[in-house]
Amino acid sequence: MIILGFESSCDETGVAAVSTQRGLLAHALHSQIAMHQEYGGVVPELASRDHIRRVLPLAAEVLRKAGLSFADLDAVAYTAGPGLAGALLVGASVAQAFAWARGLPAIPIHHLEGHLLSPLLSEPRPEFPFIALLVSGGHTQLMRVGGVGDYELLGETLDDAAGEAFDKTAKLLGLGYPGGPALSRLAEQGDPARYKLPRPMLHSGDLDFSFSGLKTAVLTRSKSLQAEPGGMSEQARADLAAGTEAAIVDVLAGKALAALKQTGLNRLVVAGGVGANRHLRRRLEQALQARGGRVYFPPLELCTDNGAMIAFAAALRVQAGLADLSGTGHAFTVHPRWDLQDVCARAA
């Protein structure tokens, strides 16, 4: 079965073709980062309009790269939420239009399920069950994943997400948007031990997170550095960036290991944009090796939003018998706020 998937929940337009037998056939992506940069964050209306401009050329590109025509498609999939309502509606409407035109089933996908299952696009593929550390721009969650559609939330952030912590502290340090990659680059030149920063909730005894206190600590520290004669030096900025990254990585790694201990599992899957962070990757690789386990990541370019993870999640749901393939109703909806538990197969 060949599925064409669409992602448009935020500021990336992604399209991909996945075969249930052969895996990912082709994908194409357009990031709106440059467009939103001058506003310091995503402008929803601009995002929706740009998705409209990009989505059809990207679909054509994917079909061309995969050597497919519309007649080869067996189903379409789209991100139905969570995300920006207007942005979601673009991918959903285009997917539905394809479905109606060709009499295909359209499979709505939860964006986080896409992130969560994306490490299964890499080799070696993790076996179920595993612990998933989902660290994106909007979410920080630890989950026990028993199988496709079997997601048990073990803990999550009480305030900012890990990606948000990167983005907001980067902004404080005068780095661009999105801040994660920029902060991480600056941190390479810094000394993580120079400024003492908090590791919020690291020893709280549960699997929840909190990052807003860290942001405040960085703000206070950078204000006092700026107030010094000559302002904040380049080296001080790099040291503060390194300290921030180290604090976030310490907390994420500490809690992920606690989740493994608590569940007795030895496989950790990391998904979401912050999973691209090199320090986090290295730290978790070392930690899992030390306990005879293994950590799995999505392919680097599929850590942030993309269409491949959406088409792929749809393929896995089809294989697990969890997708409604019965037909093409004329009503569809998007869910700007949507709990992952709502797409779980298990009765709560």
Residues 255-314 that bind Mg ion (CB under 5 A): 305
Number of helical H runs and strand E runs in the chain: 10, 10
Could you tell me the smallest distance in angstroms from the CB atom of residue 132 to Fe ion? 14
Decide if 134 contacts 141 (C-beta within 8 A): yes
Using CB under 5 A, which of the segments 123-131, 135-143, 259-267, 334-342 binds Fe ion?
A: 135-143
**Binding region:** 111, 115, 134-138, 167, 180, 277, 305
**Binding region for substrate:** 134-138, 167, 180, 277
Could you tell me the smallest distance in angstroms from the CB atom of residue 84 to Mg ion? 11
Residue 142 CB-density burial (10 A; 0-12 exposed, 13-18 middle, 19+ buried): buried
Decide if 87 contacts 44 (C-beta within 8 A): yes
Binding residue for Fe ion, selected from 305, 314, 317, 343, defined by CB under 5 A: 305
Q: Of the two residues 217 and 302, which places its CB atom closer to ligand ATP in the complex? A: 302
Using CB under 5 A, which of the segments 47-55, 155-163, 304-312, 337-345 binds Fe ion?
A: 304-312
Interface with Fe ion, residue 136, by CB under 5 A = yes
CA atoms within 13 A on the CB side of 24: 21
Binding residue for Mg ion, selected from 8, 9, 11, 108, defined by CB under 5 A: 11
> Which residue in the shown chain puts its C-beta closest to ligand ATP?
273
DSSP states of 284-338 as a string? HHHHHHHTT-EEE---GGGSSS-SHHHHHHHHHHHHTT-S--S---S-----SS-
Q: Which residues bind Mg ion (CB under 5 A)?
A: 10-12, 305
Q: In the complex, which residues of this chain contact Fe ion (CB under 5 A)?
A: 136, 305
